[in-house]
Amino acid sequence: MSQATLTQHDFLKKLGLKAENSGAYDGAWRKTKGKVLESKNPATGEVIATVRQATRADYDACVAAAHEAFLRWREVPAPKRGEIVRRMGDRLRAHKDPLGRLISLEMGKILQEGLGEVQEAIDMCDFAVGQSRMLYGLAMHSERPGHAMRESWHPLGVVGVITAFNFPMAVWAWNSMLAYIAGDACVWKPAGTVPLCAIAMTNVVRPVLEEEGFGALAGLVVGPSAEVGEPMLHDARVPLISFTGSTSVGRKVASAVAARFGRTILELGGNNALVVMDDADLDLALPAIVFGSVGTAGQRCTTTRRLIVHEKLAAEVERRLVKAYSGVRIGDPCAQGTLCGPLVTPESVEEMQAALVKVKEQGGEILYGGERVKLKGPLAGGNFVRPAIVRAENHWPIVQEETFAPILYVIRCKDVDDAIAKQNGVPQGLSSSIFTMNVRHAEQFMSAVGSDCGIANVNIGTSGAEIGGAFGGEKETGGGRESGSDAWKAYMRRQTNTVNWSRALPLAQGIQFG
């Protein structure tokens, strides 16, 4: 990080970032000896700062420290753990603006989305504080006289959190804040494209934990898969792995962790559909479609990738979408008024172009966009593309895949049954939505014979889930749940207790022995 960069982005200093940063934290920043990783601004291609990556020795030290901290942390009463999480949330509030700006700078989403992501982490702290007093078990009636049964929940251990680039702060908060109130420790492996976001988040929350003697609860390892990722998957000291990423990598994660009888939370691919019925309020539907498909430059797991529109409205919807897309401002994600920032890497641009070639080969028609966008000045080296609208068929191989870029496939349907069949007719099952004024269609979409996704919305888009609900999907999306509802149970172990307070020893099922 040059002095010019430090001056230009003075908020980086407020987050404790330097020209070269350590990629391992075990209660203190370690003097790592791994290879140097460059963090690049996807809008310019310029290096923001460097990170000295963690080695296998650093990983082992971080897990060992996290486990030792867990053994003490689990004895702290849950409401007290919640109070410490509350203080971490206060730290995030105080640093919301620089954290949001860092997300835009390093990841490329527009500033409003960056700030929104930090707010999501703050909200998650608030949720976890309340949940710390509600780690409820059950009281059950025993079939044996003079016996009492109950079910209780206990801390699990060290949680390995492996996050993707597109939500470089919020997903860690989803996992870590619930893990902390559950009595667990965390070791975080962030994506290699956004290491500064992880280091900054650690810098913001660690003073609260260090003050209490629990800094190692927020373990961090920035490093390659061979040094830190693979060891984490096979490490018996880490009973739970929460992985966010592609379906192909998720298969390997699931297999490796299951082989040692570990647990996984998998948040994998999404191929989300938004259905527009012939009675839909288009003034409501169009903004949802545009944000869902263009927001974060199509790099959300909940991005709207398929638009299933009733054949009666298809031509009108396509006309309105082309007009709306033509007004999308592409450019510096940190600049006010920008609606679509860059893709995260040059490789992401190539993947989008390759997908559009397949679209044409399979018979698709590009109605708008899809090309690379070359901007002038400092943005000349950025990974910019124009969001694409493509007329397609649901069964085409390219439509069945998830391309992590702003490509919207427009698919026609005849009625609600046809729409639901097409919505369900892909391997993924994360988010879905329907726009209709017909209560029967809405209820059918959310019923057992409707959407097969983990999220099914009515008259709102596929993207932008609130933290109060459990987040996750079905089929090749992995089946895991994070964030709200009762997702906290994944971070704890269940125990059934039976107490005999009588003077006899009756056996269950009426068995007579001896």
Active-site residues: which are they? 267, 301
Give the H or E element holding residue 231.
helix 230-233
* DSSP conformation class of 20: E
Cα 51 to Cα 33, 35, 362: the distances in Å are 10, 8, 43
26 to 170, 238, 454: CA distances (angstroms): 21, 15, 35
b/e 473-488 (16+ beta carbons within 10 angstroms → b): bebbbbbbbbbbeebb
Residues 222/190, Cβ–Cβ less than 8 Å: yes
What is the Cα–Cα distance from 480 to 268, expressed in whole angstroms? 9
Q: Are 472 and 447 in contact (CB under 8 A)?
A: no
How far is CA 285 from each of CA 105, 193, 321, 393, 424, rounded to the nearest angstrom? Answer: 31, 34, 11, 21, 20
Alpha helices, DSSP H only, in 382-478?
A: 397-400, 416-424, 439-445
Distance CA(243)–CA(237), nearest Å, equals 17
Tokens of 81: 């753990």
For residue 192, the one-letter residue type is G
Q: Give a three-class secondary structure readout of 254-284.
A: HHHHHHCCCEEEEECCCCEEEEECCCCCHHH
Is residue 246 exposed (0-12), middle (13-18) or buried (19+ Cβ within 10 Å)?
middle
Quote the strand ranges of 351-406, DSSP E: 365-368, 388-391
Do residues 296 and 328 touch, judged by C-beta distance below 8 A?
A: no
- Amino acid at the residue 20: E
* Pairing outcome for strands 388-391 and 365-368: antiparallel
How, if at all, do strands 147-155 and 158-162 pair? unpaired
Residue 18 dihedral angles phi and psi, to the nearest 5°: -125, 180
Q: Are 84 and 63 in contact (CB under 8 A)?
A: no
Query: How many other C-beta atoms are found inside a 10 Å radius of the C-beta of residue 381?
Result: 17
Q: List beta partners, residue 458.
A: 434
Three-class secondary structure assignment of 158-199: EEEEECCCCCCCHHHHHHHHHHHHHCCEEEEECCCCCHHHHH
